[in-house]
Structure 1
Amino acid sequence: MLSRLDQSLKQAALTEAEFGCCLVYGQENYPVSYLFSSLKKLIQQQETITVEQYDYSQVSLEEVLPNWDALSLFAEKKIIVLSHLDRLKKNDAKLLKEWLDAHHDASGLFLFLTAVKVDGRLPLVKSVKKCGEVIKTDHLPPAEVRKLMVRHGEEYDVSFAPQVIDTLVHYHDGNLQLIFREAEKLALFVGPGGVVNSEELELLGCGTAAGNIFTLVDELGAGNVKASLQLLNRLLRDKTVPLVILSMVARHYRLLALASAPSSRGKSAGDLARTLRVPPFVAQKIRRQLNKFSLSRLSDSFSLLSEVDYRLKSSAIPESIIMEDMVLTLCRGNARDS
């Protein structure tokens, strides 16, 4: 994914290259951040390149398209970025396609398009493919994320211990934006030539929120209302977004449900880790928690978590109250099991 984006960036940086285009879309937003940071570095290094950025939700395509052809007096290459194409109107899609078709053999121009969702059947997408790349940015498999972590460390001349990589990948559920933010913090802390071990991870508190989720689920399993509320309030005080807390709790419950299946019950920690696709240390913690949760309780919990997700996104009730109510209900589930 990023290697293909790098190829498009290289083409965009070549002043003598033919016209090119690259559409970046999908749920993973790190590649878009990577694109913008790369373009920022590019214009700092090459004075003969200009970058123009447009937010589709804020501009009229009919008005700005005629300006895209014009190069500045001192620029040999113009890179145009049109972002937030998620609600692309039918007429605008047609205008953009016509512009692309008219410039596919031009020079001195490169166009980047970004969106979260795009209809691949649009004629516009077919036109993009003819003159460039269409890159979908869905979540990468853990193995690919680990490779990117190693590469990220090389950029800072640091190395990450395997345990650190496993921890960040699991705690942030493969979210590249969050993983690389934490990785950068760790890399700057140890400095060039340094090695990031578990000690640095704990010292800087990277992944602390997710670590607290394990403890929170432990207390929920024991029905310990006071400790559960304290942990929740700690997460909220640390500015952990309620939807993030919810997604991490839901993911942990899914892992518990998978580990509770009869086919998984007798597995070793290593085999369970492979089944759940988590690091061994996570599988060991999951096994320790299994006896606290019956399958019926896990089923009830999923219904509750779905309801909490809806309330957080649509209710006027303060988020902290919704989350506290979730904790109380999950703890009561333990009392019913007992």
Structure 2
Amino acid sequence: MDYKTALKQIQKGQYAPIYVCYGSESYLVQQLIEQLTDRLIEPDQRAFGVMKYDLTETPIDAVIEEAETLPFMVPRKLVIASNALFLTGAKESAKVEHKVDKLAEYVKSPADFSIIILTIDAEKLDERKKIVKALKEANALIPCLMLSADELGHWVHQEAEKAGFSFAPGVAEQLILYTGTSLQALTKEIEKCARYIGRGGTLVASDLDQLVTRSIEQNIFILIESIVQLQLEQAFTMLSELLRRREEPIKIVALIARQFRIMYQVKDLMQQGYSQQQIAGQIGLHPYAVKIAAGQAGRFEAKRLAQILQQLADLDFQMKSGRIDKVLGLEMFLLRLVA
């Protein structure tokens, strides 16, 4: 079952006896747990109605036993167990022995007064295992994976709409560029924007500049975007801002090199016929970051990107060996790059 379907069913009051949430997007996992908790357990009953376990410390058979025990003072209960690594191909610690046959038996005949939620921070499960096959047949597997670039943009607009405001054209994309792709971080920034602009308002770029505190990584991203767009004045303004914050020039060079290395990898893989989604998995980046890097890389030939990487390596050596003033070296690099 996909995540959206599971969420829609929960919102309609249709609950599965067991959910297995896996994937790297922990925010989605937490959202699903919160939806189930809010709909099934009254706030004053959660001490009796919500049971939490860590499967690195508790065997799965103990979790099943809890699910099969009649609830006390509540009509239904949630049994939440994290770190179900026995469903993946990862090596498990010998500290806990899991009797997965108990889980397999439970899947066939679950208790009608309990809902089990198993969570795993892993991109995929080991589908060769019988228990994973059984859970898949029971439609219990819920992938909570990183959103695609288009899905992320849509999600940001949707969350703003829920909060009662809208973004001016291009500002939602600017928010992602400033904040990064973490849904948790984006949620906090959207809440901040909603309080600032008020219900029915429209957030513009200048508002965003005042509201969002950018990390050095995001500032480097914007610096390179300015370079790619040949906006020399903006690029030097961003560099001055980084230096004003006492960011180490050698660190700035390393982060610029990292972004150009990503651009080179993305360009190379795209020329080999990989899709942006495939590239994201190949180099371990969020699809949105790949989309931005692909756009930036489109302004350079592969040979030119290789030359820039070599120039950055030379600049790094000159800075560390004291052969050039660090700030002057950075400024000269930007001038050559734009030229």
State TM-score, norm by structure 1.
0.63
Task: Flag the 1:112–1:125 CA change in 2: closer, same or farther, 3 A.
Answer: same
**Which of 32, 35, 45 lines up with 1:35 in the alignment?**
32
Deviation at 1:195, TM superposition (A): 2.2
Equivalent residue number for residue 5 of structure 2? 4
Equivalent residue number for residue 199 of structure 2? 192
Task: Flag the 1:278–1:164 CA change in 2: closer, same or farther, 3 A.
Answer: same
Identity of aligned residues (%): 20
The answer on 1:68 being equivalent to 2:72 is no
Q: RMSD of the TM alignment (CA)?
A: 4.9
Deviation at 1:202, TM superposition (A): 1.0
How far apart in 1 are the matches of 2:256 and 2:22? 24
* AA of the residue aligned to 2:118: L
Equivalent residue number for residue 255 of structure 1? 263
How far apart in 1 are the matches of 2:211 and 2:118? 36
Equivalent residues of 1:97, 1:127 under 8 A apart = no
**Structure 2 unmatched ranges of 5 or more:** 272-289, 315-319, 321-325
Equivalent residues of 1:260, 1:295 under 8 A apart = no
* AA of the residue aligned to 1:24: C
- Figure out how many residues of one structure are paired with residues of the other and give that number: 284
Indicate the SS of the match to 1:74.
coil
Deviation at 1:46, TM superposition (A): 9.0
How far apart in 2 are the matches of 1:90 and 1:127? 23
Equivalent residue number for residue 56 of structure 1? 55
* AA of the residue aligned to 2:176: V
**Structure 1 unmatched ranges of 5 or more:** 264-275, 305-320, 322-326
Equivalent residues of 1:141, 1:174 under 8 A apart = no
Indicate the SS of the match to 2:49.
strand
How far apart in 1 are the matches of 2:259 and 2:148? 16
How far apart in 1 are the matches of 2:166 and 2:146? 23
The answer on 1:25 being equivalent to 2:26 is no
Deviation at 1:204, TM superposition (A): 0.6
How far apart in 2 are the matches of 1:10 and 1:188? 26
* AA of the residue aligned to 1:188: R
**Which of 111, 115, 123 lines up with 1:110 in the alignment?**
115
Equivalent residues of 2:189, 2:212 under 8 A apart = no
How far apart in 1 are the matches of 2:58 and 2:35? 24
Equivalent residue number for residue 234 of structure 1? 245
Equivalent residues of 1:142, 1:169 under 8 A apart = no
* AA of the residue aligned to 1:85: A
Indicate the SS of the match to 2:170.
helix
The answer on 1:182 being equivalent to 2:189 is yes
Equivalent residues of 1:146, 1:166 under 8 A apart = yes
How far apart in 2 are the matches of 1:34 and 1:174? 17
Task: Flag the 1:94–1:177 CA change in 2: closer, same or farther, 3 A.
Answer: same
How far apart in 1 are the matches of 2:312 and 2:143? 30
Indicate the SS of the match to 1:119.
coil
How far apart in 2 are the matches of 1:233 and 1:97? 61
Task: Flag the 1:248–1:108 CA change in 2: closer, same or farther, 3 A.
Answer: farther
Deviation at 1:214, TM superposition (A): 4.0
* AA of the residue aligned to 1:55: D
* AA of the residue aligned to 1:33: Q
Equivalent residue number for residue 295 of structure 1? 305
Equivalent residues of 1:182, 1:206 under 8 A apart = no
Comparing 90-99 and 148-157, the one that deviates more: 90-99
Deviation at 1:166, TM superposition (A): 1.2
Indicate the SS of the match to 1:23.
strand
Equivalent residue number for residue 83 of structure 1? 82
Equivalent residue number for residue 102 of structure 2? 98
Equivalent residues of 2:81, 2:118 under 8 A apart = yes
Comparing 133-142 and 96-105, the one that deviates more: 96-105
